[in-house]
Structure 1
Amino acid sequence: MTTKVFDTKEVQELLRAAANVDGRNGDARFKQIFQRLLSDLFKAIDDLDITPDEVWAGVNYLNKLGQDGEAALLAAGIGLEKYLDIRMDAADKAVGIEGGTPRTIEGPLYVAGAPVRDGVARIDIDPDSGAGPLVIRGTVSGADGKPVAGALVECWHANSKGFYSHFDPTGEQSEFNLRGAVRTGADGKYEIRTLMPVGYGCPPHGATQQLLNALARHGNRPAHVHFFVTSEHCRKLTTQFNIEGDPLIWDDFAYATREELIPHVVERTGGLALGLKADSYKEIEFDFVLTPLVSGKDNQIVQRPRAAATA
């Protein structure tokens, strides 16, 4: 169709009516965002001559996305979550906030309610013959270099099959397997005793992989470990590091890799004395540097739906 209708009075009035722009009630901010997004969609249909068949294919895809519960996974896969990080990085630069451990995406698989330990936590609750022991340790400090006492380090990652507890389709994992939290002492130190994670892919028959297939993209992630780090006097840090040597580190479908988030993996012995499953184990030392509040507020708190459970 060569005829363009977007700029016609009829279509512009339709957009205003659909968003109820002239109505007194409703959320003004939501109306503003909704009208803009709907307007952009209408214009794309006009500019690209998107057919009714293609529109309804998209609507049906959204139905499948909801049925599969993969909207948050798709947000990572299409770069939306990375884009939000880019905007926050730019906002920090604009107000002169420098340094600190780089942020990166949260992903869709956090579960609130993990048990909190002081200083050291062992989080490999379930046996896993496919994974060797891993110790993650380091210090939480502020921008001034001083250790942060009382900081909460939350950690979660996949097992050797690439599944996260609480979301494991096999049902084999305990609720908080490979999930835990550590409260730092006066020295700011934390230690997490766990198992080495592996990389994994999107559900092969899910809506996210369906979209990626149409783009000729894979849906795989390198092995990684997620963290939230919070403190009363610093901003919340959302980050993760990748496991050194994973071939997908720079080909992560979720775009979460950053140069500073690939710590060195060291071979150690003495794991049995630490209560690990074997004497030989791997160790990753990773220090967190938190950034100061902005005008006394933490502007890194993101409100989004998250799973929760009781330990």
Structure 2
Amino acid sequence: MTDSLMQRGDVKALLDKAAGLDNDTGDRRLKQIVRRVLSDAFATIEAFQVTPTEFWRAVDYVTRLGQSNEAGLLVAGLGLEHFLDILLDEEERKAGLEGGTPRTIEGPLWLAGAPLAQGEARLDQDPEPDAETIVMTGQVRDPDGNPVPGAVVDVWHANTKGGYSFFDSSQSAWNLRRRIRTDGDGRYAFRSIMPVGYGCPPDGTTQELLDRLGRHGQRPAHIHFFVEAPGYRKLTTQINIAGDRYLHEDFAFATRDELIVEARRETAPEEIARRGLSGPFSTLTFDFTLNREADHLPETVVLRAHATAA
């Protein structure tokens, strides 16, 4: 016998009615999900004796979270986006698919329609005199190690202040964003600047909650990628730069050991001259392996709201 209100008939009826389970119209799956979410919320309120004041403060927080457009940031910070990756990894494993480049979170700052280049591109449009130049190269391959020509490598990253173009009005349109179509050997290359790690807006709603949880809101330096090719599963991933102080303390839980890349410092005068640069630079190398698409596998093309360039 339990004294929990969750066992009372009137509470169960309230949950069913609130979720629309007392009628035959609407979306059955959505009703079941809403019923579960409400039930868990009711049980949490009861178990922790959440007061009306606490409850309405939480409602106010959710309202402010939406107004600040930080929902995408918070779901990463609470591990929800990483859990979706864990779930998709497990679904693929159960379906018999293993291997390929590990996925990790997309984050909230991708922008559709970046300029498309053939084989190689330069990402940095805006002058940053103190920024370190990087040259990144690699190959897109199939599970057997064969090159995938014509794959599209969509790359985006932050500048030296931790800002992303479009979201940071000080940057020009498409700065540090490009799509690169791989050449006949499946290779891609780009020149850019070394990104830095950054944190949640210190006065924002996400950091407000993290502060209450005793957590920081910092990310290590990273570069985002979508990699796509006909007949292959879309890859959403990002690389981390080795040596960053937050490498294994990413507030968004996105670091995976297989995605850590060493930046190699190049100081040879002949190599600097060959690149047309005026001083030392760093090279990064990373190869992507795409898995083949199959009907029995879970979907990897995620439909979610994104910012749209003007």
When normalised by structure 1's length, the TM-score is: 0.94
**Alpha-carbon distance change, 161 to 233 in structure 1, aligned in 2, over 3 angstroms:** same
Does structure 1 conserve the Cα–Cα contact (< 8 Å) formed by 2:95 and 2:297?
A: no
Verify: 1:86 aligned to 2:92, yes or no: no
5 Å-filtered alignment, 1:222-233, equals 222-233=220-231
Give the Å deviation of 1:308: 2.5
Q: 1:275 to 1:165 in 2, by over 3 A?
A: farther
Once the 2 structures are TM-superposed, how far is the Cα of residue 274 of structure 1 from its aligned partner? 3.2
Q: 1:102, 1:239 within 8 Å by CA — same for their partners in 2?
A: yes
Structure 1 equivalent of residue 15 of structure 2: 15
CA drift of 1:20 comes to: 1.2
Deviations 1:176-212 (A, max 9, x none): 1001010012100000111000000000111100010
State the shift of 1:295 in Å: 2.3
Please list the CA deviations of residues 203-229 of structure 1 after superposition, one character each: whole Å capped at 9, or x if unmatched. 011110001000000000000000000
Q: Say which SS state the counterpart of residue 144 (structure 1) adopts.
A: coil
Deviation of the 1:59 alpha carbon: 0.4
Which residue of the other structure, out of 159, 168, 178, is the alignment partner of 1:180?
Answer: 178
SS at match of 1:34: helix
Which residue in 2 is equivalent to 1:274? 275
Contact 1:198 1:223 in 2 (8 A): yes
How far apart, CA to CA, are the structure 1 residues paired with 2:11 and 2:134?
A: 59
Measure, in 2, the Cα distance between the counterparts of 1:297 and 1:246: 35
Once the two structures are superposed, what CA deviation does each residue of 1:246-275 show, in whole Å capped at 9, x if it has no partner? 111001000111111111211125345435
Written as runs of structure 1 = structure 2, the 5 A alignment for 1:1-311 is 4-168=4-168, 171-269=169-267, 270-271=271-272, 273-276=274-277, 278-295=278-295, 299-309=299-309
Deviation beyond 4 Å, 4+ runs, structure 1 = none
| Cα distance in structure 2, aligned partners of 1:292 and 1:62 | 40
Q: Which amino acid aligns with 1:262?
A: I
Q: Is the 8 A contact 2:121 2:191 kept in 1?
A: yes
Deviations 1:68-112 (A, max 9, x none): 100010000000011111111111211221211110010000000
Query: What amino acid is the match of 1:220?
Result: Q
CA change 1:30–1:296 in 2 (3 A) is closer
| 8 Å Cα contact 2:92-2:298 kept in structure 1 | no
Other structure's SS at 1:137 match: strand
**Structure 2 Cα separation of the partners of residues 246 and 237 of structure 1:** 24
Partners of 1:67 and 1:275 in 2: CA distance: 46
Write the distance in 2 (CA, Å) between the matches of 1:166 and 1:16. Answer: 44
Cα distance in structure 1, aligned partners of 2:298 and 2:31: 27
Describe the SS at the equivalent of 1:134: strand
**Is the CA contact (8 Å cut-off) linking 2:120 and 2:189 kept in structure 1?**
yes
Percent of pairs identical after alignment? Answer: 50
Counterpart-to-counterpart distance in 2, 1:265 and 1:96? 34
Q: How far apart in 1 are the matches of 2:214 and 2:161?
A: 25
Aligned-residue offset at 1:10 = 1.4
TM (normalized to structure 2)?
0.95
Shift of 1:298: 7.1
SS at match of 1:308: coil
Tell me, which stretches of 5 or more residues in structure 1 are unaligned? Answer: none
Query: Aligned letter for 2:307?
Result: A
Partner AA of 2:194 in structure 1: M
SS in 2 for 1:111: coil
- Residue 35 of structure 1 and its aligned partner are, at CA, apart by 1.2
Cα distance per residue 1:116-155 (max 9 Å; x no partner) = 1000010101111331111111000000110001100000
Report how many aligned residue pairs link the two structures: 306
Q: Which structure 2 residue ranges, 5 or more long, are not aligned?
A: none
Tell me, in whole angstroms, the C-alpha distance in 2 between the residues paired with 1:153 and 1:107: 17
Query: Counterparts of 1:77 and 1:279 in 2: how far apart (Å)?
Result: 38
